[in-house]
Amino acid sequence: MRKKIFLFVFVNAVCGLITAAFAQTAPRAIDQHGALSVQHNIIVDKNGVPPQLRGISMSWSIWAGKKYYNNNVVDWLVDDFKISVLRASMAVQPDGGYLQQPEEQLQLITQTIDKAVERGIYVLIDWHDHNAEKHLSESKAFFAQMAKRYAGKPNVIYEIWNEPEHQSWPVIKQYAIEVINEIRKYDADNLIIVGSTKWDQEVDVTAKDPITGYKNIAYSFHFYASDPNHQDRLRSKAEKAMKKGLPLFVTEWGVGESNGDGVFDLKKTETWFNWMETHKLSWANWNITDKKETTALLQPGASVNANWTKEELTPAGIYIREQLRKFNNPQKSSETQSNN
């Protein structure tokens, strides 16, 4: 009997070591894809193929989402959700944002970016602003600082204007060119993402007059899967833009409606999800917060240190986690949540 017990313990110990060794040697996103670039009007990795990064957007770095900007959350999203990209959404204009508290916001954002780089995933530095043209000098100073800090780190992607609300494309374009020039003084290569009119929806308008003269420039496209106004017509806009040669990155999308709340229509969400897979578009899902709304991935009161149970996830959180684990970690797609 003692021999059987000893053998059982020994076998389990060996299996544990093998599992741990496999986890340590599993390829990181940055090792798999390397530096991103725009080639032949699409975003590609070091191998010349679309990387199709899939991940999560943090919430505004103020309000309910602020408390989740910590290393434990980044680790959990990498290890449990299996993300390959994280979006750090730095609040700019609202009370407590970058315009009022630049040093506090800078510390919060850079800590998150540094952790993402350390973990080998990609990270979007998101100037989370709806009126960025009014804050051009602040934006240029911020992105100059980011470019100096992260030049040579291919994980880092600069998203220079979250969602223009009502501004015309010429206004957005002029703002973008000035910020791009500032970034390129210090970082000649890393991917830069530019916004488009009407909350990054009218990419077909942008495609008629894209920014030229710079390399590795792409454009954000946003949608909310269950919104009745974000269906075939919006997909058609994106398809027209891509056919015209505009490289797209879905830097924000949610399972609910455009106000962040509303219904979670699984059928419409699946249609959008399959559409992104078909076009091999990289994406970040909105959002890590415990605010009581449809697109929040966490239930109110969910631990600020991650290690979330299924009960701490919303229906959106459960769905997105399952999709990420299935598509970013296919070798373990057969695992069930009960094993975690």
Which is the catalytic residue, given 163, 182, 202, 257? Answer: 163
b/e map 246-259, b = 16+ CB within 10 Å: bbbbbbbbbbbbbe
Using alpha carbons, list the distances in angstroms from residue 204 to 32, 255, 287.
32, 23, 26
Residues 204 and 243 in one domain: yes
DSSP H or E stretch at residue 332: none
User: How far apart are the C-alpha atoms of 287 and 88, rounded to whole Å?
Assistant: 10
In the block, which residue shows the tokens 């994106």?
238
Question: What is the rounded average pLDDT for all residues in the chain?
Answer: 92
Asked if residue 40 and residue 12 are part of one domain, the reply reads no
Domain residues for 256? 34-339
CA 338 to chain centre: 27
**Does residue 18 sit in the same domain as residue 152?**
no
Catalytic, out of 159, 182, 202, 252: 252
Residue bearing tokens 């003269």: 213
What local confidence, expressed as pLDDT, does residue 330 receive? 62
One domain for residues 262 and 321? yes
Task: Give strand ranges (E) for the chain.
Answer: 37-39, 42-44, 54-58, 85-91, 122-128, 156-159, 192-194, 217-224, 248-254, 283-288
The number of domains in the chain is 2
Phi, psi of 159 (to 5 degrees): -105, 105
Shared domain for 77 and 144, answered yes or no, is yes
Pair (238, 253) in one structural domain: yes
**CA–CA dist 67, 23 (Å, integer):** 28
Q: Which CATH number is 240's domain given?
A: 3.20.20.80
Same domain, 132 and 44: yes
- Determine whether 252 is an active site residue: yes
pLDDT at 257 (0 to 100):
98
- Burial profile 5-17: b = 16 or more Cβ within 10 angstroms, e = fewer: eeeeeeeeeeeee
Instruction: For residue 265, report the phi and psi dihedrals to the nearest 5 degrees.
Output: -90, 105
User: Are residues 9 and 156 part of one domain?
Assistant: no
Question: Do 180 and 94 fall into the same domain?
Answer: yes
> Based on the domain organization, do 148 and 280 belong to the same domain?
yes
Q: What's the CA gap between 312 and 322, in Å, rounded?
A: 14
Residue range 264-310, pLDDT digits in tens? 999 999 999 999 999 999 999 999 999 999 999 999 999 999 999 99
**Regions of the chain short of the pLDDT cut 70:** 1-26, 330-340
Q: What is the pLDDT of residues 5-14, one digit of tens each?
A: 444 433 344 4
Q: Is the dihedral of CA 151, 37, 48, 43 positive or negative?
A: positive
Active-site annotation holds for 293: no
Q: In terms of domains, do 106 and 65 share one?
A: yes
pLDDT at 329: 80
- 106 lies in the same domain as 3: no
DSSP 8-state assignment for residue 298 = B
